[in-house]
Amino acid sequence: MTAKATEILALNAFSGAEGGIRDPEVAALVERRKRTFGAASVLFYRQPLRIVRAEGANVYAASGRRYLDFYNNVPSVGHCHPVVVEAVSKQLAALNIHARYLHETVQDYAEKLLATFPRELSNIIFTCTGSEANDLALRIARKASGGTGFIVTEAAYHGNTAAVTEISPSSYKTGAPPPHVRTIAPPDPRRFRGQLGTGFAQAVRGAIAALKADGIRPAGLIVDTIFSSDGVFADPPGFLAEAVRSVRKAGGLFIADEVQPGFGRTGAGLWGFARHGVVPDIVTMGKPMGNGYPVAGLVTRPELLAAFAEDFGYFNTFAASPAAAAAGLAVLNVIEQDHLIENAATVGGRLRARLLDLGKRYPVISAVRGAGLYLAVEFSRGGDGERPAPDILSALIDGLYERGILIGAAGRYGNTLKVRPPLCVTAINADELVDAMAEILAAMEAAGRLPGSSV
Ligand SMILES: Cc1ncc(COP(=O)(O)O)c(C=O)c1O
The predicted-structure confidence for 202-258, as pLDDT tens digits, reads as follows: 999 999 999 999 999 999 999 999 999 999 999 999 999 999 999 999 999 999 999
Q: Tell me the C-alpha to C-alpha distance, in Å, between residue 197 and each of 194, 201, 240, 278, 280.
A: 9, 6, 6, 13, 17
User: What is the number of residues in the chain?
Assistant: 455
Angle in degrees, CA 342, 347, 351, rounded to 5: 145
| CA-closest candidate to residue 114, choices 344, 373, 335, 329 | 329
What are the pLDDT digits (tens) for 77-100? 999 999 999 999 999 999 999 999
Query: Is the pLDDT assigned to residue 19 strictly greater than 80?
Result: no
**pTM, full prediction:** 0.97
- Spatial separation of the C-alpha atoms in residues 43 and 30, rounded to whole Å: 9
Ligand 1 atom 14: residue of nearest CA: 159
Q: Is 311 exposed, middle or buried (0-12, 13-18, 19+ CB in 10 A)?
A: exposed
pLDDT grade for 16, boundaries at 50, 70 and 90: low
| CA-closest candidate to residue 221, choices 156, 131, 165, 288 | 156
CA of 258 to the centre of ligand 1 (A): 9
Q: Is 333 exposed, middle or buried (0-12, 13-18, 19+ CB in 10 A)?
A: middle
Q: Probe ligand 1: pick from 8, 71, 131, max atoms within 8 Å of CB?
A: 131
CA 247 vs. chain centroid, Å, equals 23
- Spatial separation of the C-alpha atoms in residues 421 and 79, rounded to whole Å: 11
CB-CB contact of 137 with 282 (8 Å): yes
What are the pLDDT digits (tens) for 348-368? 999 999 999 999 999 999 999
Report the pocket of ligand 1 as residue ranges, CB < 6 Å: 129-131, 134, 157-160, 224, 257, 259-260, 286-287, 296
CB-CB contact of 345 with 180 (8 Å): no
What are the pLDDT digits (tens) for 253-305? 999 999 999 999 999 999 999 999 999 999 999 999 999 999 999 999 999 99
Residue 286 CA, closest ligand 1 atom number: 10
What are the pLDDT digits (tens) for 218-228? 999 999 999 99
pLDDT grade for 14, boundaries at 50, 70 and 90: low
CB-CB contact of 316 with 296 (8 Å): no
CA of 142 to the centre of ligand 1 (A): 20
CA of 89 to the centre of ligand 1 (A): 26
* Phi, psi dihedrals of residue 16, rounded to the nearest 5°: 95, 120
Query: Is the pLDDT assigned to residue 2 strictly greater than 90?
Result: no
Angle in degrees, CA 382, 397, 25, rounded to 5: 155
CB-CB contact of 282 with 251 (8 Å): no
CA of 329 to the centre of ligand 1 (A): 21
CB atoms within 10 A of CB 125: 24
Angle between helix 82-94 and helix 322-337 axes, rounded to 10 deg = 160
Q: Probe ligand 1: pick from 158, 160, 168, 293, max atoms within 8 Å of CB?
A: 158
CB atoms within 10 A of CB 71: 20
| CA-closest candidate to residue 395, choices 443, 329, 341 | 443
Ligand 1 atom 7: residue of nearest CA: 130
Ligand 1 atom 8: residue of nearest CA: 130
Dihedral sign, Cα of residue 265, residue 267, residue 269, residue 274: negative
